Structure 1
Amino acid sequence: MPPDLETRWTPPTDADGQPRQVRRILRLFRPYRARLAIVGLLVGAASLVSVATPFLLKETLDVAIPQGRTGLLSLLALGMILSAVLSSVFGVLQTLISTTVGQRVMHDLRTAVYDRLQRMSLAFFTRTRTGEVQSRIANDIGGMQATVTSTATSLVSNATSVIATIVAMIALDWRLTVVSLLLLPVFVWISRRVGNERKKITTQRQKQMAAMAATVTESLSVSGILLGRTMGRTDSLTRSFAEESEQLVDLEVRSNMAGRWRMAVITMVMAAMPAVIYWTAGMVLRTGGPQTSIGTIVAFVSLQQGLFRPAVSLLSTGVQIQTSLALFQRIFEYLDLPIDITERERPVRLDRIRGEIRFENVEFRYDDQGAAILDGIDIGVPAGDSLAVVGPTGAGKSTFGHLVPRLYDVTGGRVTLDGVDVRDLDFDTLARAIGVVSQETYLFHATVAENLRFAKPDATDEELRAAARAAQIDDHITALPDGYDTVVGERGHRFSGGEKQRLAIARTILRDPPVLILDEATSALDTRTEAAVQDAIDALSADRTTITIAHRLSTVRDADQIVVLDSGRLAERGTHAELMERDGRYAALVRRDAQLEPTS
């Protein structure tokens, strides 16, 4: 990825937003300066060759044919043929290079946005719809394809052609040139108005496309289909999608028709210009003005007609660029997102990790004005020991577990691994040190083997089976028709909840982290399935520092230490026996669980 894309740009202000945005767009092309220089040379050569043809035509009509000079006529005809051939060759090479550069810029943008999103904290994704994120990468960057692959080259090509043609027209007859260009400022003004109008509509259209993408992502996922069917909302979801699609239809029509009549008037006027040139030349001859040869008039009209195509294209390109600025702005919004979880300039790397975890007067808030989710947490977990975190819903248990692998950063105090603040550690050390098994198991739409190897890409088949055996899922996998090549389906829905959890545990065993975070890993399972998964968890937890965030207290009785959180504070701590003896909040939670357990 080019270094320029790694720069954290400052969002443009209203005063100089558009010029700054244009500069940022130009920076995207900086790594490809050499190729763009070649394109510029090809554009210049093609423009010169195309402008030469009318002069060859003038000599043919004024000299070669009237004087019967067949040799000169042959050379001039050969020159016109050669001009056409060279123009075509230059055009093909120019298109090849510019398209390649444009696609590389698109690749850089996609990669930069994806990389920025990968480094965002968990908080960003909890407040942003998945479809919105996907739309920025797919629709917005995809919508810029024409701009970055052909529009920039078209702009340079057409501008060069227009300038070269105007110079040639002046050389032929400056009076006819003045007549031809009288309305050009009006045309430029009209095209800018049209561009601004389309830019506003494009912004609305992209937002609507993002909303539709979010609806599709949420309602057509496996979970969305299940919810819609069981709630009897299939028809209403379809109607809602149809309404959103109808709004998009209106925006698409408005976008395509914005300024269409005004641009059509420009086209008609420029198409009628040859008649104006002939009329002007005839009136000059009739009034006895300076003589203009027939060859000059024909060559001038040929040039003027040659000016027509790039001039109209140039005006349309200006409109397209203004429209694309709306798309670039949406992409730059994501590239400008502040990254909350960053690595130090010189981070600490631990080659040998023991797994001692400490919370030192930890405080956490989601924002500066918000209430404290955790407050004054001070507790240590020796390497190899187990800590259970329990408490009522909303006590801050999951947040407690998220702070260790730096899914969030503390807002006060610090969390340490082997005595080093986790904020000072490099990301690789954290990834090697800490494994997380959560209640919501995520599996990719891929094979069982590919899902397991996500933890260790170079794992052998025997390592996969060993991890699966430890997680007590190997027998089930091998009994499937395709074994480890079985595709798990969208979000793993071809497997039961307990089977998915054991696959997640096998995946974590394969990574072999010294520290393990179990975030209510069995709370969504029935008692029988929980027992099978708990056996797998026990195998995973052996000889590791384990932090278990539990809803069902039956799974944490053997923990070396149990802490009870209440409203973000440490309410109690001790072993199961000690806390039961105190008959406090933990004992009350245990009695509550006993009442909820099935009697059979």
Structure 2
Amino acid sequence: MPLVGAVVLGIATSLLVVAQAVLLGRVIAGAFPGGKSLDEVSGDLWILAAVVGARALCAFGFETSGRLGARRVVGELRASLTAHMLETRPAGLRGQRAGELVTNAVQGLSSLEAYFARYLPQLVLAVVVPIVILIYVFPHDLAAGTILLVTLPIIPLFMILIGLAARTATERRWRTLSLLSSHFLDAVKGIQTLKANDRAQRQVESLRETGEQYRKETMVTLRIAFLSSLVLELAAMMGTALVAAAVAIQLINGGLGFATALAVLLLAPELYLPVRMVGQQFHASTDGLTAANQCFEVLDTPAAVSVPAAPLPSPDPRMGPLVLEGVTFAYEGRGEAVLDSIDLRLEPGEQLALVGPSGQGKSTIASLILRLLDPSDGRILCNGVNLLDVDPKEWRQHLAWVPQRPTLFSATLAENIRLGRPDADEAALLAACADAGLDRLVDSLPQGLATPLGEGQRTLSAGERQRVALARAFLRDAPLVILDEPTAHLDAESSAAIGDSIARLSESRSVLLIVHRPALAAAADRIVTLREGLVVDGQDQR
């Protein structure tokens, strides 16, 4: 909600509060036995009804604009979080639980609506309303104005003290909820493994323990919220009682008119109300603020992939070699480097097989070439151009990637294949399926390429998923193809079939093939062995 609009609504609400109290005082004083008739006060009653309606409209405007602002801010924050993950940390956040991140980005940020729609409007009213009320009260009743001015700061003081405890408790509770979400997500993903290893009951006990911890943290937060309400109500009640006593004494002594005395007495709780409501709405908004702070921590993580301010044109792998010069890389939190001064060269149209034991950095080289990571030291060049000087998105347009475990999204089979080339027509899609050996699967599905995939829909085997990834690569038709263990989890028959598709994909393209199987490596032009982050052997098979 724009600040100017909030201040204008706050001033309007403050003036309406004073007008309502003054009119009520006049009506009640006029209607007192021996006073005016109903017809004589009817004008004030109509004005009072209009004031009450206008005040309701201001409250509606506050909340509506706050909700609209909340949706805009939450949408922008989610978009920033997604962009940060996709553009600057495409390889993911190491050390960040997926369940915790999802809880913060979805449920947590949705709780920000209470902060924008209720807490911020009340904060504006808590500043503006007391000022306007005191401006009215002081000229009419100095004693009551002094009491209000002295007692008003007591409420914010209690709010600050209780708010600090509430924030700490909420952060603990939210961390526990995020941990519970992560545990539950792990249990759902690994339910077959847990049952096979007879550990399902232990996981249930773990979830129960975490849930009990979350219940305790929630009760602590609620106790603080109830204590806060009690203290704020007590402070407001005492202040109103003191004002009532001062007004009564002056009324008895004849130093104050009845209508004015009623107006001052009605304004006393109105002065404390927005300040008290700030405390209540603060507790309602702490979940959203805690989640937002954790999302900001993610946004503050350093970029894993740099984007140059003035990028050079992206080089074409068909026009020159891809060269790794002295490339070193170490993951965050690890002491030793995964790659240590690697030198590697891939000529245009060459098929290079990268072999070696697991965990030696082969997939890391693929991530570096894909610009999912940036090297800690050294350079990656294509046709003499340093890839750090190129926009990563433009460079990836020249690449096709077949990962070890292809990801299929909750979409149709056609949409999953079109991932790398959304504008591809039906003919190109069918040709890619045929080249990848996916045509038999498509023909066997009642809905064909329109078959929905994902949770609760059609599931694919490991071999079928690999064929989908290969179909993506065929459809993308990129000059440089990176295949990361494409047959790692397949049986011999499926591996042989996938191998035939890989051979077709490799024609007239530069190929980096990361493999364990000797049969696939044997088909490459050159084999490079990687061990302990170093190139230990290179074998030319041409």
Structure 1 and Structure 2 fold alike (TM over 0.5): yes
Residue 310 in 1 paired to residue 277 in 2? no
Residue 120 (structure 1) shift: 3.9
In the aligned structure 1, how far is the partner of 2:38 from the partner of 2:52? 21
Match of 2:509 among 521, 534, 544: 544
Q: How is 1:111-150 mapped onto 2 (pairs within 5 angstroms)?
A: 111-121=79-89, 124-150=92-118
After TM superposition, the structure 1 stretch with the greater mean CA deviation from structure 2, 99-108 or 566-575, is 566-575
Contact 1:443 1:491 in 2 (8 A): no
After TM superposition, the structure 1 stretch with the greater mean CA deviation from structure 2, 317-326 or 514-523, is 317-326
Contact 1:192 1:318 in 2 (8 A): no
In the aligned structure 1, how far is the partner of 2:332 from the partner of 2:275? 54
Residue 163 in 1 paired to residue 128 in 2? no
Q: Percent identical across equivalent pairs?
A: 26
Match in the other structure for 1:396: 361
Match in the other structure for 2:475: 510
Match in the other structure for 2:165: 197
Residue 572 in 1 paired to residue 540 in 2? no
Residue 67 (structure 1) shift: 6.4
**CA deviation vs aligned residue, 1:55-89 (integer Å, no higher than 9, x gap):** 22344455687664877633322221221122122
Match in the other structure for 1:237: 203
Residue 473 in 1 paired to residue 441 in 2? no
Residue 431 (structure 1) shift: 1.4
In the aligned structure 1, how far is the partner of 2:155 from the partner of 2:62? 28
Match of 2:192 among 226, 238, 256: 226
Match in the other structure for 2:308: 344
Residue 47 in 1 paired to residue 14 in 2? yes
Look up the equivalent residue of 2:355 and give its one-letter code. Answer: V
SS across alignment from 1:220: helix
After TM superposition, the structure 1 stretch with the greater mean CA deviation from structure 2, 184-193 or 476-485, is 184-193
In the aligned structure 1, how far is the partner of 2:291 from the partner of 2:466? 41
1:326–1:261 distance in 2 versus 1, CA, 3 Å:
same
Q: How is 1:37-436 mapped onto 2 (pairs within 5 angstroms)?
A: 37-60=4-27, 68=36, 73-121=41-89, 124-221=92-189, 224-258=190-224, 260-271=226-237, 276-284=242-250, 289=253, 291-317=255-281, 325-350=289-314, 352-354=316-318, 356-366=321-331, 370-436=335-401
1:57–1:510 distance in 2 versus 1, CA, 3 Å:
same
Look up the equivalent residue of 2:523 and give its one-letter code. Answer: D
1:93–1:326 distance in 2 versus 1, CA, 3 Å:
closer
**CA deviation vs aligned residue, 1:163-209 (integer Å, no higher than 9, x gap):** 22222222331212333454333322211111000000111111112
Contact 1:354 1:514 in 2 (8 A): yes
Residue 113 (structure 1) shift: 1.6
**CA deviation vs aligned residue, 1:72-113 (integer Å, no higher than 9, x gap):** 633322221221122122322332222211221111111112
In the aligned structure 2, how far is the partner of 1:314 from the partner of 1:409? 47
In the aligned structure 1, how far is the partner of 2:119 from the partner of 2:503? 61
Residue 277 (structure 1) shift: 4.1
Q: How is 1:521-600 mapped onto 2 (pairs within 5 angstroms)?
A: 521-576=486-541
After TM superposition, the structure 1 stretch with the greater mean CA deviation from structure 2, 439-448 or 65-74, is 65-74
1:465–1:325 distance in 2 versus 1, CA, 3 Å:
closer
SS across alignment from 1:240: helix
Aligned residue pairs: how many? 540
1:373–1:166 distance in 2 versus 1, CA, 3 Å:
same
SS across alignment from 1:119: helix
Look up the equivalent residue of 1:333 and give its one-letter code. Answer: E
Match in the other structure for 1:26: none
Residue 121 (structure 1) shift: 3.4
Residue 530 (structure 1) shift: 0.5
SS across alignment from 2:528: strand
1:389–1:284 distance in 2 versus 1, CA, 3 Å:
same
Gaps of 5+ in 1: 1-31, 578-600
Contact 1:389 1:550 in 2 (8 A): yes
In the aligned structure 2, how far is the partner of 1:184 from the partner of 1:559? 81
**CA deviation vs aligned residue, 1:516-551 (integer Å, no higher than 9, x gap):** 111111121111110111111111111110011110
1:463–1:541 distance in 2 versus 1, CA, 3 Å:
same
Residue 371 (structure 1) shift: 2.7
Look up the equivalent residue of 1:348 and give its one-letter code. Answer: L
Contact 2:155 2:235 in 1 (8 A): no
SS across alignment from 1:125: coil
Residue 123 (structure 1) shift: 5.9
SS across alignment from 2:420: coil
Residue 357 (structure 1) shift: 1.4
SS across alignment from 2:326: strand
1:379–1:262 distance in 2 versus 1, CA, 3 Å:
closer
Look up the equivalent residue of 1:116 and give its one-letter code. Answer: H
1:448–1:104 distance in 2 versus 1, CA, 3 Å:
same
Look up the equivalent residue of 2:158 and give its one-letter code. Answer: I
In the aligned structure 2, how far is the partner of 1:370 from the partner of 1:109? 33
Match in the other structure for 1:7: none
Q: TM-score, normalised by structure 1?
A: 0.83
In the aligned structure 2, how far is the partner of 1:61 from the partner of 1:262? 34
Contact 2:67 2:117 in 1 (8 A): yes
In the aligned structure 1, how far is the partner of 2:59 from the partner of 2:225? 30
In the aligned structure 2, how far is the partner of 1:415 from the partner of 1:549? 18
Match in the other structure for 1:581: none
In the aligned structure 2, how far is the partner of 1:470 from the partner of 1:429? 26
In the aligned structure 1, how far is the partner of 2:470 from the partner of 2:92? 27
Look up the equivalent residue of 1:176 and give its one-letter code. Answer: A
**CA deviation vs aligned residue, 1:129-156 (integer Å, no higher than 9, x gap):** 2112212212432232211233112211
SS across alignment from 1:559: coil
Residue 478 (structure 1) shift: 1.6
Match in the other structure for 1:583: none
In the aligned structure 2, how far is the partner of 1:250 from the partner of 1:158? 32
Residue 306 (structure 1) shift: 2.5
Look up the equivalent residue of 1:54 and give its one-letter code. Answer: A
In the aligned structure 2, how far is the partner of 1:293 from the partner of 1:199? 46
1:210–1:192 distance in 2 versus 1, CA, 3 Å:
same
Look up the equivalent residue of 1:185 and give its one-letter code. Answer: P
Contact 1:363 1:374 in 2 (8 A): yes
1:90–1:456 distance in 2 versus 1, CA, 3 Å:
same
Residue 494 in 1 paired to residue 459 in 2? yes
After TM superposition, the structure 1 stretch with the greater mean CA deviation from structure 2, 102-111 or 525-534, is 102-111
**CA deviation vs aligned residue, 1:347-371 (integer Å, no higher than 9, x gap):** 1223755163122232333359833
Gaps of 5+ in 2: none
Q: TM-score, normalised by structure 2?
A: 0.92
Residue 325 (structure 1) shift: 5.0
Look up the equivalent residue of 2:199 and give its one-letter code. Answer: R
